[in-house]
A = this chain, B = another copy of it.
Amino acid sequence: MTGEKEILGTCPVDRGLTRVGDRWSMLVLRDVERGLTRYEQLRTSLGIAPNILSRRLAALTEAGLLKKRRYSQRPPRDEYVLTDAGCDFLPILMAIGAWGRKYNGAGALSQHFDVKTGGVVRPVVVDANTGAPIGSRPLRFEYPD
């Protein structure tokens, strides 16, 4: 993130977390996806301190997950929209949501539905090559040469 030296290790998990590795950053992405694209909307939704929100927005922009879009010329005002990299992170948030529903899911929770089928969305991480859920087949880990 901004202000930290980014050391490029060989682990792709760390590579991802270096770009978007804290709760506030992920919740900002969630809210922007839901249409809360302006600073005040995000501040109100998240109940976050202004300096923390500003830092997260700057870091997510620098990391390439958000970009600014000017929505008012006078006075000049920017909102934040998701880049392709930001959009590609959203399925991970859905997977975290499925985990949260399973292990910290007491009470009423929001939910996604498939528009065409009307069915509840049930996010699961699979290996695209086999279609099998990750964790259901033995995997081998290899460090790079």
Contact = CB atoms under 8 A, between A and B. Distances in A.
Given A16-B100, A104-B18, A115 B88 contact: no
A62 B18 CA distance: 25
Contacts of A26: 13, 17, 21
What is the interface of chain A mostly: helix, strand, loop, or mixed? mixed
Contacts of A88: 99, 102-103, 135
Contacts of A138: 114-116
Nearest to A126: B126
A128 interface: yes
Interface in A122-145: 122-131, 133-135, 137-145
The interface size bin for chain A is 35 or more
A91 interface: yes
A10 interface: yes
A57 to B, nearest CB: 18
B96 A135 contact: no
Q: Which 3 A-B pairs have the closest CB atoms?
A: A16-B100, A15-B100, A21-B23
Interface of A: 8, 10-19, 21-23, 26-27, 30, 34, 64, 85, 87-117, 119-131, 133-135, 137-145
